[in-house]
Amino acid sequence: MSDLFSVKGKVALVTGGTSGIGQMIARGLVENGARTYIVGRSVQTCTDAAKELSQYGECLPLPGDLSTMAGVEAVIAALCAKEKQLDILVNNAGAMYDAPLDEFTEEGWDSIIDLNLKSVFFLSQKALPLLRAAVAANEQASVINIGSVGGLRVGPKENYSYQAAKAGLHHLTGSLAKRLGPENIIVNAIAPGFFESRLTSAKDLPPAVLQMVPRRRMGNPDDIVGAVIYLSSRAASFVAGAVIPVSGGMTL
C-alpha cells in the first residue's frame, strides 16, 4: 500500500493553475511528482507561473481562453501535441459575478455559466481520448471538478449565475461519474469554502464571516492539495460522483 496516494509520474492538467486555488493544486501535484500543465488566459502570466512552479518539479504552461469552444479545443490540441495520455484533469478555472437581482445582466449570467459549467463539460469531453489512453496505461484516470460551498447551500452574495453554475457542476459530476465509471475514469468534485485568491481575499472578509466556519479559519494549500491528491490517486478508486466539501465545516 506504500504507493496508495502516489501521483508520481502521472500527467496532470490544472485549469486556472496560474492563481489562487488552482496554483495551490498545481504546486501540490508538481511537488508530488506529477508532470503538470497549467492553463490561464495570458501567455506571459501562464509562462511565469509555470516557471515559478518548475522549481518544485515539472510544470508547463498551456495558455488558452476556456470561455469559448475554440479556446477549449485549442487547449486540448496543444496538450495532444505534447502528451499521449492525461491521468489527472482538474477543472478549476472559474470566475464570479454578483449584482443586485434587479440589475443582474445577461453578460453576468452567460459568462459565468460558460466558464464555470459549459467549459468543464466540453473540456472533459475533448480530453476523453487522452484520459482513456491513461486508463490503458495506468488502469485509472481522474477528473476533479472544483465546485463550491455556494453550490451546496445558498450564500450571502447575490451571485445567482455562480451558485447555479456550481450546483450544476456538482450534478454534472455525478452524470459524468456514472457514464465514465465503467471505463475506470473516476469523476469527483471538491466544494471549497474560503481560500485566499483573487476571488476571495482575507483582507475583504470581515472577521464575523469566519464565524460561519466551524474551523474558524480560511483554507490553506495543504487542505485543498490533500483532497486533490486523494482523488487523483489509487486511494480514491472506489469513489465516484462524490462532492467533498473542503470548507472547515461551512456546510453544517
Ligand X SMILES: NC(=O)c1ccc[n+]([C@@H]2O[C@H](COP(=O)([O-])OP(=O)(O)OC[C@H]3O[C@@H](n4cnc5c(N)ncnc54)[C@H](OP(=O)(O)O)[C@@H]3O)[C@@H](O)[C@H]2O)c1
Residues recognised as catalytic:
162
Distance of CA 103 to the CA centre of its chain: 30
Minimum distance from residue 165 beta carbon to ligand X (Å):
8
Residue 34 vs 39, nearer CB to ligand X: 39
Q: What is the dihedral of CA 238, 4, 152, 186, to 10 degrees?
A: -50
Minimum distance from residue 9 beta carbon to ligand X (Å):
25
Maximum Cα–Cα distance across the chain: 56
Q: Which of 194, 173, 196 minimizes the C-alpha distance to 185?
A: 173
Q: Which residues bind ligand X (CB under 6 A)?
A: 15-16, 18-22, 39-42, 45, 65-67, 92-95, 115, 146, 148, 192, 194-195, 197-200
Alpha helices in the chain (DSSP H): 20-31, 43-53, 69-80, 106-113, 119-138, 160-180, 221-232
How far, in Å, CA of 173 to CA of 80, rounded?
24
Count the Cβ atoms, other than its own, within 10 Å of residue 125: 11
Residue 72 vs 141, nearer CB to ligand X: 72
Which residue shows C-alpha cell 502570466? 45
Residue 67 vs 140, nearer CB to ligand X: 67
Minimum distance from residue 182 beta carbon to ligand X (Å):
28
Minimum distance from residue 151 beta carbon to ligand X (Å):
8
Q: How many CA atoms, within 13 angstroms, populate the side-chain half-sphere of residue 144?
A: 34
Minimum distance from residue 139 beta carbon to ligand X (Å):
29
Residue 37 vs 140, nearer CB to ligand X: 37
Residue 108 vs 192, nearer CB to ligand X: 192
How far, in Å, CA of 22 to CA of 220, rounded?
12
How far, in Å, CA of 53 to CA of 105, rounded?
37
